[in-house]
Structure 1
Amino acid sequence: MSFKSIFQDVRNAVDWVHIQGDLKSQTIKNLDEYVKKDERLPMFLTRIRESGAKVFLLTNSDYRFTDEIMTYLFDFPHGARPDEPHRDWKTYFDTIVVDARKPLFFGEGTILRQVDTSTGALKIGTHMGPLQKGQVYSGGSCDVFTELIGAKGKDVLYIGDHIFGDILKSKKIRGWRTFLIVPELVQELHVWTDKCQLFAELQALDIMLGDMYKNLDSSTKEKPDISKLRNSIRDVTHKMDLAYGMMGSLFRSGSRQTFFSSQVVRYADLYAATFLNLIYYPFSYMFRAPAMLMPHESTVAHEQRFVMESPMISRSRAFSVTDDDSSENCANHHHLLERSHSQVPHTRPETPRCVTHNHDEDYSDEETDSKSSEEKAG
């Protein structure tokens, strides 16, 4: 049995449970067990709207299931504040779209229709706009949706929990800013702090491995015996994987990042265990990730002095050598290089006080999806 066949079996089983099984009916019957309520939700959505932004709900679920879940989430005796009366969940959103069929929604999409909230049935005809507050719509496409709400691209912060259907497609195709919800992050952070000695031990083993090759070059005939270190690294990695549970870490395997982790870094502008973490930041806050070092930067300290072995390896004009250049001119060029290296200190850039870069639209063809996979619910 190959890994591909295992994947296909698991994928088919998940699709069957999600589409044809009783997943949603059992969830509705046991909302207390499967859905977590937070009384801060009404307050936070109200704060967003009071800041001048619009709030929309975009889901693949049908209206009946969405109404059950959202009614439960907003089932509090008060409204956005303790002194306010209870409000229907639809009043917290400017626009509500169900049956979106993401990721198809971000491509060609489907017909946009209005939902009769009293029966859950779709009204006849295509809805051409405008989008009315308190109404529920079904289907549609991102082109039509962004035109009707008057926002597109980086004007939109989209919060979702599916790396492919929500985050990757909205970022690559539409250029939306993205916020990925990763509930497993709570467990990941617990292991990161509780098992910090394992991470330190793994880092020490990596340093020891590098030291074994430190004074060797291409003239070395004998091969260092790293079998013991390799076994030690394997043992520590195994202990780390066990600390995360049966399925291991979602973000790393030992000192290596998982494919999911690399996708999060590339396509998610923000990620957290819950979007309610935004409560603790002003809406004008500029989120900025720590600078990521390339391997050649992380292995060479700022204090080290890099000496060019040949002027031919530099693209700087200071190293351009013509046929008329004399040896004296070459010496002067080398002298200027040494002088600049000795007098110019290594400085770090200050934290920007405004936006200093724009995310690329990333219209690559890395993921070529079939039409059938595009139509599956995310």
Structure 2
Amino acid sequence: MELAKMRILDLQFSVEHDPEMHILLLQLFEQKYALNKNYGSPRRTRDSAFNSIKLLKVTWYELVPSIMSNMLNPDAIFSNNEMSLSDIEIYGFDYDYTLVFYSKHLHTLIFNAARDLLVNEHRYPAEIRKYDYDPNFAIRGLHYDVHRALLMKIDAFHYIQLGTVYRGLSVVPDEEVIAMYDGSHVPLEQMSDFYGKSSQGNTMKQFMDIFSLPEMTLLSCVNEHFLKNNIDYEPVHLYKDVKDSIRDVHIKGIMYRAIEADIEKYICYAEQTRAVLAKLADHGKKMFLITNSPSSFVDKGMKFIVGKDWRDLFDVVIVQADKPNFFNDKRRPFRKVNERGVLLWDKIHKLQKGQIYKQGNLYEFLKLTGWRGSKVLYFGDHIYSDLADLTLKHGWRTGAIIPELRSEIKIMNTESYIQTMTWLQTLTGLLEHMQVHRDSDSQMILEEWKKERKDMREMNRNFFNAQFGSLFRTDENPTYFLRRLSRFADIYMASLSCLLNYELDYTFYPRRTPLQHELPPWSDQLCTGGEVRCLFVVLFHPLMRKDRRETFPCQSEETISYSLEEGKNNLFLICKRRERERMLYSEGKRN
């Protein structure tokens, strides 16, 4: 035991060097050694073994405070670009999923209405009515190959995440995906256009807004029906028909009438939006609304959220704006909408407070208001239609509303997620460092680690969505969705209510994210700057693994001393010994 202590005190730490770390590490080895020495004693019960393991877990968590202690706040605002609210004089908003949030019932309504339109107006088989909306199937940001009828997740570098390609409701084997695309990369000319659409020459459509969730699910359900019943069909026609049906749910007023008829069922979090608008008004901020939704629909919703005098809060209200065309078409003039919803033919020389306007264009808007540049902050949920043109062409500051952010952060704060990610990162470093060993035993263990890494990635994906994983990440890379979010949004948050947590002179500073060449190699991250992580791998796996409920014998004092003395050069040998001891223990149990 004294030898182990001496070796620990000899360890060279870099940035992690501090007295507390030494004390914790000493305690850790005393507990670990006691567990080894007493293991197998007739007096040692299974319960006491588990108590020791729990104690080790607590110590382990204390040694990785950067992971365990700094929990993320799901109600925070996150910054891609430095921005001070003290510079913002004018606040602009989209309506749907920005000022107003809808309950889970809305997507079911859209799915059912579009499905019925397919049957009644496009003559699709009545049997597709057996499919119901599954809110857990799709996530935002997915791409759809229009010609192959495949729904998939693509990363920021145009690579398909294997295991997330779906034909209908069934996953497509990796080998088939690779054969179809000559690998997993999607060339630029096949990707969606600037606004995520499938235009001429583009075979991919990206689903970016929250309303697209029922559309993706309906596409997959109808595909599934055709495939299961061996019905020959043209994927391009199916895509167009589903798109038209979803559009008609909006254009024909089906969705609007349903919400207006039972507004309390569909609209939620009204008091939070009301509080945000009141705060901005109390600080003398100007506010405007630009939405694609119709006048009567917005009026009823805002009366429910704010009250009858809601228009007094806004300096300008524009409905049926036809974004993103609103930001690019210089020809369409504004039209005034009277109290009865009738369009007037007056020429607009001034945008008046309390008045509702229809259509128009941003260039006329800028001319009439003088609201230009970085003193304007506009919020929306659609990264392309709401934010892209404003930040690229007009220099407005932009805020993205990402409701999924709150649930994903809560998952990331769970113990199970943190444990999985910690081991996954460590395992990746082990693979990089140990791949130089070419003997057969080493290669066998490397293959086991690769399989385990693949399994851990699958587990990590399932934390968020069983089919497609996180909205923001593939296995390692940012998603294509996050790439566009980072480019077009200065700040992003789960809802407007997050603004209530900040003073209106607060400055958002983006975190300095290390570039790849600013980080040490995986092996150095594991075994230098404190050999602590290296020792964790050797000494706590599989004890730290929640999915294993048996206690395995640990390394002897000799092994501990050896690992400390030889460091990373002998890590591989120790891990192989761990595998052998585990095997012997398993055989002993069977006997």
Query: Shared topology, TM-score over 0.5?
Result: yes
CA contact (8 A) 2:293 2:320 kept: yes
CA contact (8 A) 1:153 1:176 kept: yes
Residues 124-143 of structure 1 correspond to what in structure 2 (within 5 A)?
Answer: 124-127=345-348, 129-143=349-363
Helix, strand or coil: the match of 2:379?
strand
TM-score by length of 1: 0.69
Residue 459 of structure 2 is matched in structure 1 by 239
Helix, strand or coil: the match of 1:55?
strand
Q: For residues 63-82 of structure 1, what are the alpha-carbon distances to aligned partners after superposition, in whole Å with 9 as ceiling and x for unaligned? A: 0111111111124xxxxxxx
Residue 274 of structure 1 is matched in structure 2 by 495
| Structure 2: distance between partners of 1:41 and 1:20 | 28
Residue of 456, 470, 478 corresponding to 1:257: 478
Counterpart amino acid of residue 147 in structure 1? K
Measure how far apart 1:58 and its partner are: 0.8
Measure how far apart 1:288 and its partner are: 1.0
Q: For residues 180-203 of structure 1, what are the alpha-carbon distances to aligned partners after superposition, in whole Å with 9 as ceiling and x for unaligned? A: 001111111121112222221221
Residue 37 of structure 1 is matched in structure 2 by 269
Residue 79 of structure 1 is matched in structure 2 by none
Q: 1:147 to 1:43 in 2, by over 3 A?
A: same
Q: For residues 172-226 of structure 1, what are the alpha-carbon distances to aligned partners after superposition, in whole Å with 9 as ceiling and x for unaligned? A: 222211110011111111211122222212211211122124x68xxx9999664
Residue of 227, 236, 249 corresponding to 1:17: 249
Helix, strand or coil: the match of 1:158?
strand
Helix, strand or coil: the match of 1:102?
coil
Counterpart amino acid of residue 294 in structure 1? L
| Structure 2: distance between partners of 1:252 and 1:11 | 27
| Structure 2: distance between partners of 1:202 and 1:105 | 46
| Structure 2: distance between partners of 1:243 and 1:98 | 39
CA contact (8 A) 1:146 1:152 kept: yes
Residue 335 of structure 2 is matched in structure 1 by 113
CA contact (8 A) 1:71 1:89 kept: yes
Bigger RCO of structures 1 and 2 (CA < 8 A, at least 6 apart): 2
Q: 1:208 to 1:30 in 2, by over 3 A?
A: farther
CA-based RMSD: 2.7
Residue 294 of structure 2 is matched in structure 1 by 62
Q: Which has the higher helix share?
A: 2
Percent identity (aligned) = 30
Residues 75-86 of structure 1 correspond to what in structure 2 (within 5 A)?
Answer: 75=307
| Structure 2: distance between partners of 1:106 and 1:56 | 15
Residue 205 of structure 1 is matched in structure 2 by 427
CA contact (8 A) 1:93 1:133 kept: yes
Task: Indicate yes or no: 2:296 matched with 1:49.
Answer: no
Unaligned stretches of 5+ residues in structure 1:
76-86, 305-378
Residue of 315, 318, 321 corresponding to 1:94: 315
Q: For residues 302-323 of structure 1, what are the alpha-carbon distances to aligned partners after superposition, in whole Å with 9 as ceiling and x for unaligned? A: 9x9xxxxxxxxxxxxxxxxxxx
Residues 134-173 of structure 1 correspond to what in structure 2 (within 5 A)?
Answer: 134-173=354-393
Q: 1:299 to 1:24 in 2, by over 3 A?
A: farther
> Structure 1 stretch 272-281 or stretch 42-51: which is displaced more?
42-51
Counterpart amino acid of residue 264 in structure 1? L
CA contact (8 A) 2:333 2:364 kept: no
| Structure 1: distance between partners of 2:283 and 2:363 | 26
Residue 352 of structure 1 is matched in structure 2 by none
Residue of 372, 396, 411 corresponding to 1:191: 411
CA contact (8 A) 1:106 1:174 kept: no
| Structure 2: distance between partners of 1:15 and 1:249 | 27
CA contact (8 A) 1:106 1:173 kept: no
Measure how far apart 1:13 and its partner are: 4.0
> Structure 1 stretch 44-53 or stretch 220-229: which is displaced more?
220-229
Q: 1:94 to 1:193 in 2, by over 3 A?
A: same
CA contact (8 A) 2:270 2:304 kept: no
Task: Indicate yes or no: 2:343 matched with 1:122.
Answer: yes
| Structure 1: distance between partners of 2:388 and 2:439 | 49
Measure how far apart 1:169 and its partner are: 2.3
Measure how far apart 1:98 and its partner are: 0.7
Residues 313-324 of structure 1 correspond to what in structure 2 (within 5 A)?
Answer: none
Helix, strand or coil: the match of 1:262?
helix
Q: For residues 101-121 of structure 1, what are the alpha-carbon distances to aligned partners after superposition, in whole Å with 9 as ceiling and x for unaligned? A: 1001110152211111x2112
| Structure 1: distance between partners of 2:431 and 2:260 | 54
TM-score by length of 2: 0.45
Measure how far apart 1:21 and its partner are: 6.1
Measure how far apart 1:166 and its partner are: 0.6
Q: For residues 99-155 of structure 1, what are the alpha-carbon distances to aligned partners after superposition, in whole Å with 9 as ceiling and x for unaligned? A: 111001110152211111x2112111431x221111111111111112222211212
Task: Indicate yes or no: 2:239 matched with 1:8.
Answer: yes
Q: For residues 218-259 of structure 1, what are the alpha-carbon distances to aligned partners after superposition, in whole Å with 9 as ceiling and x for unaligned? A: xx9999664333322221121122221345321112332211
CA contact (8 A) 1:57 1:96 kept: yes
| Structure 2: distance between partners of 1:231 and 1:34 | 45
Task: Indicate yes or no: 2:514 matched with 1:293.
Answer: yes
